[in-house]
Chain A
Amino acid sequence: LQSWGSLFPWFGLDIGGTLVKLVYFEPKDITAEEEEEEVESLKSIRKYLTSNVAYGSTGIRDVHLELKDLTLCGRKGNLHFIRFPTHDMPAFIQMGRDKNFSSLHTVFCATGGGAYKFEQDFLTIGDLQLCKLDELDCLIKGILYIDSVGFNGRSQCYYFENPADSEKCQKLPFELKNPYPLLLVNIGSGVSILAVYSKDNYKRVTGTSLGGGTFFGLCCLLTGCTTFEEALEMASRGDSTKVDKLVRDIYGGDYERFGLPGWAVASSFGNMMSKEKREAVSKEDLARATLITITNNIGSIARMCALNENINQVVFVGNFLRINTIAMRLLAYALDYWSKGQLKALFSEHEGYFGAVGALLELLKIP
Chain B
Amino acid sequence: KNNVNIKEIGPGMAGADSDDSLYPIAVLIDELRNEDVQLRLNSIKKLSTIALALGVERTRTELLPFLTDTIYDEDEVLLALAEQLGNFTMLVGGPEYVHCLLPPLESLATVEETVVRDKAVESLRKISHEHSPVDLEVHFEPLVKRLASGDWFTSRTSACGLFSVCYPRVSSTVKAEIRQHFRTLCSDDTPMVRRAAASKLGEFAKVLELEYVKSDIISLFTALASDEQDSVRLLAVEAGVSIATLLPQEDLEALVMPTLRQAAEDKSWRVRYMVADKFSDLQKAVGPEITKNDLVPAFQNLLKDCEAEVRAAAANKVKEFCENLPEDSRETIIMTHILPCVKELVSDTNQHVKSALASVIMGLSTILGKDNTIEHLLPLFLAQLKDECPEVRLNIISNLDCVNEVIGIRQLSQSLLPAIVELAEDAKWRVRLAIIEYMPLLAGQLGVEFFDEKLNSLCMAWLVDHVYAIREAATCNLMKLVEKFGAEWAQNTIVPKVLGMANDPNYLHRMTTLFCINALSEVCGQEITTKHMLPVVFKMSNDQVANVRFNVAKSLQKIGPVLDSNCLQTEVKPVLEKLASDQDMDVKYFAQEAISGSSTGLFMEKQCALFPLSKKCFRDTWLPKCFVQLFTKQTILLFILTPNLPAEPSCSVYHHLLNLSLGSHI
Do A and B truly interact?
no
Residues of A within 8 A of B (CB): none
Residues of B within 8 A of A (CB): none
